[in-house]
Amino acid sequence: MELKVFRDVLPAAGADCTAKAELPLETELLISDYLPPVQRIVKCFAQPVVLQKQLAPGRLTLEGYLRCTVYYQGEEGAGLCQTEQKLPFTKTLELPSFGATAWTACVEGQTEYLNCRAVNSRRIEVRGAYGLVVSVHAQLSTEVITALSEGGIEQKLTTLGGVRRAATLEKLVTIEGTLTFPKPPAAILDITGTAEVRELKRMQGKAVAKGTLRALCAWRAEGDAALLSQTAELPFHQIVDVEGLSEDCQCLCTLAPVGFAAAEGETAEDGSASTTLTATALLRLSGWRPYQLQCVADAFSTRFAVEVTPQTIATEGLLCTLDETTVLRGSGPLPDAGAHILACFASFGPVSLTRGEGRAALTARAVVSAFAENTLGEIECYEKALDYALPLPADLPPDAQAYPECWLTVQDVQCTSAGGALEVSLTVRAEGAVLVRQTWPLVGGVELGSREPVFDIVVSAAKKSTFSRLSQNETAKECYKLGFFDPANADAALAALEMMDFEGVEKVRARVRQNGTLAQQLLQLQGQMARLTAALAQQPGGTQTAQDTPSLTAQLPVAAAARAMNWNGKEVK
């Protein structure tokens, strides 16, 4: 007989690999004429911006630019100054070959080393390297058996659940607004910002993201070396095409500013100056569609020999989404107790998931760089490392593997100098999701073999001795004396017979069970007859009387004992 096998496709968890690469940095920065000449190098930063990712068999290609920013102290009391350069790069990382129907790559990293020196007052040389850490996670559509029928098959079903990665998008968007200064700026040192997506509308193949980008500008007024700060809020309303997105998807959308440009504006009558601010931000959107599917975990046949091929499936689920804000604090001694803090910045290393005694936590290393002017009038950089740890809001199964798709942004950083110590307060926002992978044993294939034989032959002796017959009769008499055949003792007798073993014990058990059933039926009939007799006696001229039924119950134990005895090999009926 042919076995019917029903199959379906499951978005199983696929490859999970991590690759590391090094981006070399070797460049020269020329100071523009409108910037003060270089007196002293303060600090150099490098930050990659990935614009495109291409996955091919055995390799991943990243394209983007490395943003190199140098802070220096200008001559003739110009104070803290800044210049930057964007260095395009294309990096190919070797990966194991794997199949994928959906994938994502999370690019992180940290500066390995940077050497920066001033060749002259208008020329800066930078040498160094930035270490990339790329985590690639894939899903692969895999066939599974969902049901079996025919051939006397018996199956055990289990329900698997998870999420299907429906959409992944990373796109640069441009946001424009106005930045207003109380008076015309002589120089803009730096512009940073944070963004928040407050509303996300999902449609078929499209998404609408609304929110606000908050820009923070460090600038200096004409004739004043002190740094001032100015903020601006830029609302955004972005409509993007997202292949595979639908209204039933669970979505995560973040916006991270990667660059700012300020154009010269006009000065108002009250002395204020407004400039056009253009922000470039990286929009990240991920969409998952939940699913549930019943699969065959085990199977056997009552009529045929069965050969089962095992299959191990890994599912991927959404453990939790994150949008948490944490404040980190730290302190350390300053080499110069009289140093005056001018500005501060923060950067993060790769994000990892750490299991502890309690809940798993999201961990990273944060480094705060504080620029301060010492008592000699020199601007120096002091660094303070802080450990970031965010416990997950959901429990991680002990037998599961998890990985984060999270991004850390600086919401606020403050540095103060008090009593010769540097006090640091860093507000960190974590946005993203944590996905979990679990493995399940399933049936990957079933084949029916030959028909299973049915053994219904009972082997017994052809001739029995007189001793065996007498022994069996004595057993029957003992059971009778012990009240085994009394219908009132049916339950106790069955319990005792379950522990006994002699020829014909199954028949004795069946007879005792039947006696108990007949006795219960007889008691019910006696009750009915009593009620009928009472009803007839109340009728005029009624002469019916109840018959003597107890004698029937007294005959049951005797008849059962007689059937259990053997007289010359013949059963007494």
389 DSSP β-pair partners: 363
Tokens 């998931």 label which residue? Answer: 353
Predicted TM-score (pTM) above 0.75? no
Q: Exposed e or buried b for every residue in 140-161, given b needs 16+ CB within 10 A? A: bebebbbebeebebebeeeebe
Q: Is the pLDDT score of 165 beyond 70?
A: yes
Q: What is the mean pLDDT of residues 490-508?
A: 76
Q: What is the pLDDT of residue 425?
A: 95
The total of other beta-carbon atoms located within 10 Å of residue 6's CB is: 10
- Most confident residue range from 136-150, 218-232, 437-451: 136-150
Cα angle value 297/300/305 (rounded, 5°):
140
Selection from 191, 181, 190, 174 nearest residue 266 by Cα: 181
Q: What is the mean pLDDT of residues 202-207?
A: 92
Q: How far apart are CA 129 and CA 150, in angstroms?
A: 65
Tell me if 348 sits within 8 A of 385, measured CB to CB. no
3-state secondary structure of 247: coil
How far, in whole angstroms, is CA 156 from its chain's centroid? 27
Q: How far apart are CA 411 and CA 265, in angstroms?
A: 28
Read off the amino acid at residue 462.
A
Read off the amino acid at residue 374.
N
Q: What is the pLDDT of residue 122?
A: 93
Q: Is the pLDDT score of 568 beyond 50?
A: no
- Distance, first Cα to last Cα, the chain: 46
Q: What is the mean pLDDT of residues 23-36?
A: 92
Q: What is the pLDDT of residue 563?
A: 54
Q: What is the mean pLDDT of residues 517-523?
A: 76
Q: Is the pLDDT score of 382 beyond 90?
A: yes
H or E stretch at 64: strand 59-74
- At residue 456 the predicted structure's pLDDT band, cuts being 50, 70 and 90, is low
Tell me if 485 sits within 8 A of 509, measured CB to CB. no
* Of residues 272 and 485, more confidently modeled: 272
Reading the block at residue 501, the tokens are 């073993």
Residues 322-336: pLDDT tens digits?
999 999 999 999 998
Q: What is the pLDDT of residue 93?
A: 94
- At residue 548 the predicted structure's pLDDT band, cuts being 50, 70 and 90, is very low
Dihedral sign (CA 324, 231, 209, 408): negative
Tokens 């294309």 label which residue? Answer: 90
Residues 264-290: pLDDT tens digits?
777 887 878 889 999 999 999 999 999
The total of other beta-carbon atoms located within 10 Å of residue 124's CB is: 23
**How is the beta sheet containing 38-56 ordered, strand by strand?**
38-56, 59-74, 79-94
Residues 401-423: pLDDT tens digits?
999 999 999 999 999 988 889 99
Selection from 390, 402, 424, 373 nearest residue 227 by Cα: 373
Those residues whose C-beta lies under 8 Å from the C-beta of residue 560, and which sit 6 or more positions away, are 485, 511, 512, 515
Those residues whose C-beta lies under 8 Å from the C-beta of residue 271, and which sit 6 or more positions away, are 182, 183, 184
Tokens 């008849």 label which residue? Answer: 559
Residues 32-52: pLDDT tens digits?
888 889 999 999 999 999 999
Q: Is the pLDDT score of 549 beyond 50?
A: no
Q: What is the pLDDT of residue 570?
A: 46
Q: Is 245 left (phi over 0), alpha (psi -120 to 50) or beta?
A: beta
Q: Exposed e or buried b for every residue in 91-116, given b needs 16+ CB within 10 A? A: bebebeebebebbbbbbbbbbeebeb
- Most confident residue range from 51-65, 348-362, 440-454: 51-65
Q: What is the mean pLDDT of residues 511-529?
A: 78
Q: How far is CA 156 from CA 61, 146, 301, in A?
A: 45, 10, 12
Radius of gyration of the chain (CA): 42
Reading the block at residue 247, the tokens are 């209204």
Tell me if 70 sits within 8 A of 46, measured CB to CB. no
DSSP string, 86-110: EEEEEEEEE------SEEEEEEEEE
Q: What is the pLDDT of residue 453?
A: 61
Cα angle value 234/230/187 (rounded, 5°):
110
* Of residues 564 and 33, more confidently modeled: 33
Q: What is the pLDDT of residue 255?
A: 94
How far, in whole angstroms, is CA 384 from its chain's centroid? 33
Q: Provide the percentage of residues in the chain whose pLDDT is more than 70.
A: 91
Selection from 373, 367, 364 nearest residue 330 by Cα: 367
Reading the block at residue 266, the tokens are 């006009």
Q: Is the pLDDT score of 573 beyond 60?
A: no
